[in-house]
Amino acid sequence: MSKTLAKKDVVVIGFGWTGAIIAKELTEAGLNVLALERGPMRDTDPDGVYPQTMDELTYNSRKKLFVDVSKETVTIRHTSSDTALPNRQLGAFLPGTGVGGAGLHWSGVHFRVDPMELRMRSHYEERYGKKFIPEGMSIQDFGVSYEELEPHFDFAEKVFGTSGTAWSVKGETVGAGKGGNPFAPDRSNPFPLPAQMNSVSAMLYGKAAEAVGYHPYNMPSANTSGPYTNPYGVQMGPCNFCGFCSGYACYMYSKASPNVNILPALRLDPRFELRTQCQVTRINLAADGKTATGVTYIDASGNEVVQPADIVAVCSFQFNNVRMLLLSGIGKPYDPVSNTGTVGKNFAFQNMATIKVFFGKDQHHTNNFMGAGGNGIAVDDFNADNFDHGPAGFVGGSPFWVNQAGAKPIAGTPTAPGTPNWGSGWKKGVAEAYTHNVSMDAHGAHQSYRANYLSLDPTYKDAYGNPLLRMTFDWQPNDIRMNLFMQEKMSAIAKAMGGQAISISGKKEGSHFDTNSYQTTHLNGGAIMGTDPNTSAVNRYLQSWDVHNVFVLGASAFPQGLGYNPTGLVAALAYWSARAIREQYLKQPGALLKA
């Protein structure tokens, strides 16, 4: 029998970046906010204590900060005619669990967005014509502009303590010749901190990129280049390039995370409460199905608890946001056959390629063991629509970068082509290559398609008896064409670096999605935003079209993937949604946009 608790003004499902942002914003508005996190309490102490946190076996190999797939996972298939099977081992993506979520284990790459990607379909139709977009590609506009989001990008960077080099501020060019990105949109303020120092790898890459006519710039990094205090009064220390960022809690308080940058201020507010090890199983609806009455969750002791609330903010990982809506009966599930429904629609990922350049022992010593998660040098010459897509014949773009985040002793063992796969020859190759190689990535945008979608699995269930989420996904011809193009363009930089050997890891004709090959944890879509309830699950304020007191935040709102990492846009949209709740919804609860 379930236990019903006293009502809260707001219940937040999940406590990563979006959960922390919405909780902070709504407590500041005077509301009593409860955050429910399915995983354990995590913080710099004890999860990031030195030297215990610098343990590759525990954190990256055994995946301490990631979801336990024996309790909750997804099923995967390539097409709707295949049978989906549970993903039993983390590989292609790494969802987090516990306080901070993916915001605790992320790397720290902190981009904004190219403005045209917010109006993707409109832009391509205007420049290239409607017929340029392939049949079955379902890209859409976000329904919000860069100009509307710019103040929220600016504030998020101040909260994160982001390091970088601006190109233009309030229309004035300030970053030419200083490491700024000439393709970046205008900003209202400089970055809170100057760009971090660059690794040898990044500097070699930048020189080579410039030599072939590209425009290298300093990557924006949520790893601090110096001491910093954010608008919430939270202090950060300068990054020391230890190389343990992605997959780890930062022991230096240098990598932005919900745990470091927001929670210390939130926990001082008596209107805020955080409950951990609380697995929300559904959002409860009123009899008419038009409003939410709260949530039901399973607590750490296995008891079922009903938590009433006036507002429900769905702030878990992209997969979990979509699954929560489907389990709760909010919105119409997507049907790819009839192309109707919205929940589960437009699932997208990332379209990666990697090139490694190997040097002789007398050429360059690259110190690959050091690094910072967001630090590096990038080029945007082939990102977004910064080049003519007409002759290329595909939709989408990709930044290229060297982002040396620290090569660990177990996984950081690249070898040059021709090296034996085992034995003394392999050992010799590892020793020769370890500090004499540069790795660069094409971090391609991934488009959405009618054939790629999310739904509830009819067979497999989680530890609580609820259907798992089913992922129907495969690479499409447009993805492969784009990836091959980017491999060629990035190869020009690799060749200009003058190494002794080059290896390329990317897609080939006929490539299929492989669950073993890590692509990033940048999963998008499924509860997409827009201005039409027939084609989007939430409106431009991330409010459910069907249940007005439910707001769904995170990359689940993206109608397609970005070339950039999603966290910057996720944070800006969270602040955008929070402002709409504070300034509009609380004054007159109801739909913020008419259907």
Maximum CA extent, the chain: 74
Please list, in sequence order, all residues whose beta carbon lies within 8 angstroms of the beta carbon of residue 199, skipping any fewer than 6 positions away.
241, 366, 367, 370, 371, 375, 376, 402, 404
Q: How far apart are CA 296 and CA 287, in angstroms?
A: 16
Q: How far apart are CA 510 and CA 520, in angstroms?
A: 21
**Quick check: helix, strand or coil at residue 490?**
helix
Q: State yes or no: is 123 an active-site residue.
A: no
Of 364, 443, 522, 548, the active-site residue reads 522
Where are any strands of DSSP class E within 37-178? 74-77, 85-86, 163-164, 168-169, 172-173
Q: How far apart are CA 11 and CA 396, in angstroms?
A: 37
- Answer whether 134's CB lies under 8 Å from 560's CB: no
- β-sheet with 467-472: strand ranges across: 85-86, 74-77, 467-472, 453-461
Please provide the size of the chain in residues: 595
Please list, in sequence order, all residues whose beta carbon lies within 8 angstroms of the beta carbon of residue 588, skipping any fewer than 6 positions away.
none
Q: How far apart are CA 479 and CA 396, in angstroms?
A: 8
Q: How far apart are CA 193 and CA 374, in angstroms?
A: 13
Q: How remote is the C-alpha of 345 from its chain's centroid?
A: 18
- Answer whether 260's CB lies under 8 Å from 222's CB: no
Q: Which of these, 81, 527, 481, lies nearest to 318 by C-alpha position?
A: 527
Q: How far apart are CA 323 and CA 560, in angstroms?
A: 18
Which residues participate in catalysis according to the annotation? 522
